[in-house]
């Protein structure tokens, strides 16, 4: 049985807290262009230890668009490593993105 992403995010919070890991959920990143704040921002699903972006998915497969999204998040956040966890398959699918 598969659930919506939000269910996996909630469960992931429980796991992170049980291990005492420092994390932020739905961290806001504002975007600038030529020193002008853009009207749109993005929210990274999780930031772990102030250095790893973690994106949660629940779909048939991780797409190239998911990887591109994570790379953009890395560029905006200053983080160097991103992980995409996809719970939408029979077994957990993990992709790593590095700047």
pLDDT digits (tens, 9 = 90+) for 8-49: 999 999 999 999 999 999 999 998 999 999 999 999 999 999
CATH of the domain at 27: 3.90.320.10
Q: Which domain holds residue 91?
A: 5-98
Rg, Å, the chain Cα set: 14
- Split into its structural domains, the chain has a count of 1
* Beta carbons within 10 angstroms of residue 24's beta carbon: 13
In the chain, how long is the greatest CA-to-CA distance? 46
pTM above 0.75, yes or no: yes
Mean pLDDT value across the chain = 94
Give pLDDT, residue 69.
92
Q: In 3D, which of 97, 16, 12 has the Cα closest to residue 63? A: 97
């Amino acid at each position: 049985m598969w659930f919506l992403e939000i269910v996996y995010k909630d469960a992931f919070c429980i796991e992170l807290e049980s291990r005492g890991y420092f994390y932020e959920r739905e961290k806001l990143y504002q975007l600038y262009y030529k020193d002008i704040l853009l009207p749109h921002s993005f929210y990274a699903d999780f930031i772990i230890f102030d250095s790893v972006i973690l994106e949660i998915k629940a779909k048939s497969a991780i797409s190239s668009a998911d990887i591109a999204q994570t790379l953009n998040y890395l560029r905006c956040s200053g983080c160097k490593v991103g992980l995409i966890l996809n719970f939408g398959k029979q077994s957990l699918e993990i992709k790593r993105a590095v700047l």
